[in-house]
Structure 1
Amino acid sequence: MSVAEPRRIALFRHAKADWPPVDDHERPLAERGRMDAAAAGRKLADTGIAFDLALCSTATRTRETWKLAVQEFPQRPKTVYEERIYEASPGELIALLNETPDDVQNVLLIGHNPGIQGLADVLAGSSEGDARERMNRRGFPAAAFALLSFTGSWKSLEPGVATLLDYWAPSE
């Protein structure tokens, strides 16, 4: 694949988690989270983007979100469970994405707020239609995702280089 072809990144916040008396990293999804994860998976599949790679936090709620969402995909991307996504800042997430091999065209990152929302804000130098307005209005609730595009190598991904193509959040 050429670095001149647009690359896409889906930034996907885990679905609604439950609050049992466990360590934060081990919190599972709530019932609503399980439904919203599947709905988000359907919406991501509806984009028609063939994701080559999914980078997923090792936290229980992100792994459960991904397990439910990917069932809606026509083809399962390679999945890497990455500890560095948990509690990562936007800058740390960019550094992680910069490590992506250039033969990967489309990446799905499943993580947590405030990092995911911050990353969407930082990367999007422009937006299509009302995507930014909808994202700003809704914030980044559980199971929301932002879809961005940029041209260049993964090493060239930096603040402001991407276009926010779409934003979706479950209805509350």
Structure 2
Amino acid sequence: MSVDVLRRIVIVRHAKAEWAEEADHERPLAERGRRDAPVAGRWLASAGITPELTLCSSAVRTRETWKLMVHELPQRPKTVYEDRMYEASLGELIALINETSDDVNDLLLVGHNPSVHALADALAGDAEGDALARMARGGFPTAAIAVLTFQGSWKSVEHGAGRLTAYWSPQE
């Protein structure tokens, strides 16, 4: 497979979580999160985004978000629940992306702020329309989605490598 194909990275922040007495990793979605996650999945489906691989943080709220989103998609991608995404730094998220096989063209990440917002910001070398301004203004709220494209191998993903083609938030 050629590494010059157009690839897509979809970055999702988990939906709204409860502020419960559980350890942070075990926090479940709040009622609003359980409403927003399927809406986010429907947005992905309506945008024609069908990832081949999803890397999802192992935290309860990210797993619940993805399970509610994926039911809205026309096909279920391979999903890997990745412990390294919980509390990951920007560099650690880029390293995970760099590990992706070039057999995958569309990759979706479900993670946490501030790292998912930092990742979308860092990868967006340019943007279509007002997507970058809307993302900056919105602050990447819960259940927000950023879609970026780039050409090349996953190993070549670095700061400024992508083009922000879409930004969506349930609060817009």
Shorter-chain TM-score bucket reads over 0.9
Distance 1:43 1:170 in 2: 10
**Runs of 4+ with deviation above 6 angstroms:** none
Percentage identity across paired residues of the two chains: 65
Distance 2:96 2:171 in 1: 31
- List alignment gaps of at least 5 residues for structure 1: none
Q: CA RMSD, aligned part only? A: 0.9
Amino acid at match of 2:163: T
- List alignment gaps of at least 5 residues for structure 2: none
Amino acid at match of 2:125: G
Amino acid at match of 1:6: L
- Summarize the alignment of residues 7-18 of structure 1 with structure 2, pairs less than 5 Å apart: 7-18=7-18
- Which residue number in structure 1 is paired with residue 112 of structure 2? 112
- Which residue number in structure 2 is paired with residue 52 of structure 1? 52
- Which residue number in structure 1 is paired with residue 168 of structure 2? 168
Could you list the per-position Cα deviations for residues 10-53 of structure 1 after superposition, in whole angstroms to 9, with x for gaps in the alignment? 00000000011100000000000011000001111112122110
Quick check: 2:44–2:50 contact (8 Å CA) kept in 1? Answer: no
Could you list the per-position Cα deviations for residues 93-143 of structure 1 after superposition, in whole angstroms to 9, with x for gaps in the alignment? 000000000000000000000000000000000000110011011110000
Q: What is the TM-score of this pair, normalised by structure 2?
A: 0.98
- Which residue number in structure 2 is paired with residue 127 of structure 1? 127
Q: What is the TM-score of this pair, normalised by structure 1?
A: 0.98
Count of aligned pairs between the two proteins? 172
Distance 1:38 1:48 in 2: 15
